[in-house]
Amino acid sequence: MRAARTDQLVKDSVRCGPIHGGWLRSARPCPSPHSDLRPRGVALDLIVLHAISLPEGHYGTGHPEALFQGTLDLNAHESFASLKGVRVSAHLLIDRQGALTQFVPFHRRAWHAGASSWRGRTGCNDFSLGIELEGDVQTPFTWAQYGRLAAVLRQLHSVYHIPREHLACHSAIAPKRKADPGPYFSFDVLAQAEASL
């Protein structure tokens, strides 16, 4: 009886999967108005890694979440003046503690890459998912962030089958404009986190 019940639970979890309606079950949903439809027939083929903190180098402020939702108070810090009229988003944000927030469902296009090119294809937003790590280009990311990122990548792969090597830093797809996630992001540490899952 107990075995049968356990089998049913396993079946249920497989049937439901980690993603429902384009939303990760493990993420806090925080819907953003900054998204639109992907072009028809374009498959997800890339994951783009970013870093963000607002103000830069300050963590746990809630400002990146507000920016992605279009509710950032531009008067909250002098550096925010340059963000006037900026409408951006990402699919996911992983904070310094590894907590996960989702802003845009995966079947919709988030506005994270901007003018970009990957393996000869431009407009990376069309075919990519954007993951923001709370951080900046001068500070190492936390183990909790790597652990969460590894888990998320595994979940995304299980549903969307994006090849593992189709993972790029924003700086690699927009090298003249962007430096994030920066020199402290380590693919070696990410590989360690993936191995420890």
As annotated, the active-site residues are 132
Give the nearer residue to Zn ion in terms of CB position, either 50 or 109: 50
Query: Stretches 42-50, 61-69, 79-87, 99-107: which one binds Zn ion (CB under 5 A)?
Result: 42-50
Closest CA to 149 of 110, 185, 174, 182: 185
Query: Stretches 29-37, 45-53, 60-68, 137-145: which one binds Zn ion (CB under 5 A)?
Result: 45-53
Contacts with 9 (C-beta within 8 Å, 6 or more apart), sequence order: none
Query: Stretches 10-18, 46-54, 76-84, 183-191: which one binds Zn ion (CB under 5 A)?
Result: 46-54
Q: Work out whether 50 is an interface residue with Zn ion (CB under 5 A).
A: yes
x/- string (CB under 5 A) for Zn ion, residues 114-133? --------------------
- Kindly state the smallest distance separating residue 114's Cβ from Zn ion, in Å: 8
Q: How far apart are CA 163 and CA 112, in angstroms?
A: 20
Q: How far apart are CA 164 and CA 3, in angstroms?
A: 35
Give the nearer residue to Zn ion in terms of CB position, either 24 or 90: 90
Q: Work out whether 91 is an interface residue with Zn ion (CB under 5 A).
A: no
Number of residues that bind Zn ion (CB under 5 A): 3
* DSSP secondary structure letter of residue 109: E
For residues 162-191, which are near Zn ion according to CB under 5 A? 170, 180
Q: Work out whether 136 is an interface residue with Zn ion (CB under 5 A).
A: no
Contact 161, 145 (CB under 8 A): no
Distances (CA, A) of 180 to 49, 56, 112, 171: 8, 12, 12, 5
Contact 18, 158 (CB under 8 A): yes
Residues in contact with Zn ion by the rule CB under 5 A: 50, 170, 180
